[in-house]
Structure 1
Amino acid sequence: MITPEDVEFHPVENDSPIWAETNFFGFYNTEEHLNIGVYALFRPQLGVVHSTISMNDHDALEPWRANFFDHRAHLPIPEPQRLSDYSLLNGLHVTCTEPNMNWRIEYDDGAGTTIDVEYRALMQPFDIADPDMDPITAARAKEEDFAWGEAYNGHFDQTGHYTGEVSIRRRTIPIDCVSTMDHSWGPRAERGAPNMSWLHAHVDDNYAVHAIWSFDHTGETDELTLNHGYAMVDGHAYGLASGSGRTTRDKHLYAREVELQVTDSRGEAHELRGTGLTRFPWQAWPNMVGFNVLARWTVNGREGYGELQDFVETTHLAALADRGTTSSAV
């Protein structure tokens, strides 16, 4: 269960130098197909923050082809160390106005690119480690030493409503959308992470589906394995109990079509089909590429939008390319 105290930094286990604490805020403008990501990965034992600000509305197959991308690896963690109110030297200022529920995200690069949005939660935080919330965690709790990636031993996802605006070199774009944020804490090495598809589809303030999947990523079509997720209906998150899915990718490994079937804890089924609108190789942290796509979805016949983040390590991609085991590894 997530408590108000979880908005702040958590104790570092075993003085681990690879311990990480993260915040991600993602939002978009559907008319412009503009997808925005605000990310900070803190290394408390090292005293540094890895932060990226990305904005993209088209096919940006290289990071410098995006509308905007500011990537910093060694920003100092400001003192006192607080996740509820921090300002970084890249111009990012994040303030939590109600613990784990409402945030304000501000950014100014000093050259005309800015962010000024507010996030209002539409549900309580969804704790993927809580068996009372997550049916899959409950089912796996009987397995000895079960953990799906140590970096996500502490993790919650949450759907909310973003309002405000962004400016890209003084061109202003309004933001008014439903999207999903997350917060993670735990040891996070820079090699050895499993492949992960973190995705969500939002119809309106009363209906959204979020899910985390595993996948193989050795071909142009990937069968997905459900790990965690929820369907948010009228402000309540119902944990996903089962599901299946398939992602069809282009030759650059980006999702072009996604088909999902999931069933929540009430036994209600949700059928989703997503079509990729954009492409951007998000370098979330060293040795990792997030094949990011803003997608148009149909969810039980209703239209929605949301993001696909397919994470694969560069060492894995290089091995596939070197072996020539997949026509997609280019």
Structure 2
Amino acid sequence: MAITAEQYDYNVADDADYTWVETMLFPVIVPEANIYALLYNSAKPTLGCMAQQVLISGALCDTEAEMLHYYDNQHLPLPERWTNITSPEGLNIKAVKLPREFRLDYVSSDGETEVHVDWVGMMEPFDIHDPKHSPQAGNAADMHADLEIGKKHKAGHIDMTGRATGTLKVRGRTFEVDCFERMDRSWGPRQPMNIPTCYIVSATIDENLAFHMIVAWNPEKPDGQQFTMSHGYVLENGEVYGLTTDLEMRSKQHGLICTSIEMQVTDTRGKKYDLLAMANSGAPWMPATGARCYNSLMRWHHEGKIGYGVVMANYNLNYLMNRHHRFTEDPSPKIWI
């Protein structure tokens, strides 16, 4: 069934406890300058609080110190409506015409950083739990909620590729924004220490061809066997087609950074797409206390065309500690991951 406008507001289940989370995420990109901004809102309605984060990167960096801007406040008042997010700290997101149109405004506390963008969806929201959208609905994990595969529940996750237009100001420079990326909206139970290892991949070749996918990742497996398609779609000439489990994918890592990807994906028509990407800029992000996510703004190649899109390599801290924990007498590794 189609996602309704009401589902963009709070979707708190009757039995929701303190782990219930509602999120809204918008990337904003200036591809010609390798600028990547992420605007993220996360709420815990049962606790009456909200967290907000804004990061802006302009180079390939592995610490927050190298970013152009970073704002993080984990203890803010809960907005009355999740479709009209207002904050005393300067990040406001308003649904203009649901389910596709939004207004994003951010002004930093010192007034030196600003984002002002109109965001318009180019498709109907893609529901990973709807078999009419995702061929793996009910048979693949929801990477955004702590749920068993196939379990009936009130949690949800949607993705939607759209176009953002406006301006971005950072470090004394103002950039015109006219980009394509995807937003997402999630709700459900989520323990901050249980974030699964996965890749969240977006690629826009042009206004007529864009991809988005959520890919389960097991770094312990051999190269070429680490990735499994959970959910995804291709938006081609205004039509959306789900992506199947027929996936070939390899990635290269430098530490936590995804530096390149080779992949072939297949949609429900049986059409195959070969994609190659290399990182141009990126930055680390901590969407939850136990999560480590590295965002890479990639330069994508497909059949002689060049596009862009964000790859999020997600780790949980327990997994990293199990691999890298050390006592005093343990040697420091030369290669971290």
- Per the normalisation by structure 1, the TM-score is 0.92
Quick check: 1:179 aligned with 2:181?
Answer: yes
1:118 is aligned to 118
Give CA-to-partner distance per residue, 1:210-229, whole Å, 9 cap, x none: 11101123589572111000
Q: Say which SS state the counterpart of residue 38 (structure 1) adopts.
A: strand
| Structure 1 residue 23, shift from structure 2 partner | 0.3
Q: Give the RMSD, CA atoms, in angstroms.
A: 2.1
For 2:131 and 2:5, how far apart are their aligned partners in 1?
19
Q: What do the CA deviations read for 1:92-145 (whole angstroms, capped 9, x no partner)?
A: 11111111201010001132111100111111100000011111226x28xxxx
Give secondary structure in 2 for the equivalent of 1:74.
Answer: strand
Deviation at 1:89, TM superposition (A): 2.1
1:148–1:307 Cα change, 3 Å? closer
Task: Give 2:252's match in structure 1, choosing from 241, 248, 252.
Answer: 248
- For 2:193, which of 191, 194, 213 is the aligned residue? 191
- Which residue of 2 is the match for residue 14 of structure 1? 15
- SS of match in other structure, 1:306: strand
Contact 1:97 1:104 in 2 (8 A): yes
Structure 2 residue runs of 5 or longer lacking an equivalent are 148-154
Residues 1:206 and 2:201 aligned together:
no
Paired residues in the alignment total 322
The whole-number CA distance in structure 1 between the counterparts of 2:24 and 2:142 is 21
Q: Distance in 2 between matches of 1:151 and 1:235?
A: 33
> 1:162 is matched with which residue: 143, 161, 164?
164
Deviations, residues 27-75 of structure 1 (Å, cap 9, x unaligned): 2111210001000010101111121100001122111220000011111
Asked whether the equivalents of residues 320 and 329 of structure 1 are also in contact (C-alpha less than 8 Å), the reply is: no
Q: Gaps (5+ residues) in structure 1?
A: none
2:93 alignment partner in structure 1: 94
Residue type at the aligned position of 1:115: V
The CA deviation string for residues 281-318 of structure 1, in whole angstroms up to 9 with x for no partner, is 11112111111100000134321100010110122212
> Per the alignment, do residues 149 and 172 of structure 1 end up closer, same or farther by CA in structure 2, a change over 3 Å counting?
closer
Compute the displacement of 1:173 (Å): 1.2
CA–CA distance in structure 1, aligned partners of residues 335 and 45 of structure 2: 38
Contact 1:218 1:326 in 2 (8 A): no
CA separation in 2, counterparts of 1:100 and 1:195? 29
Identity of aligned residues (%): 28
Q: Give 4+ residue runs of structure 1 displaced > 4 Å after superposition.
A: 146-149, 218-222, 323-328
Classify 1:60/1:89 alpha carbon distance in 2 versus 1 (closer, same or farther; 3 Å): farther
* Superposed counterparts of 1:291-310, under 5 Å: 291-310=294-313
Query: For 1:252-305, what per-residue CA distance to the aligned partner results, in whole angstroms no more than 9, with x for missing partners?
Result: 221111011111011111111110112311111211111110000013432110
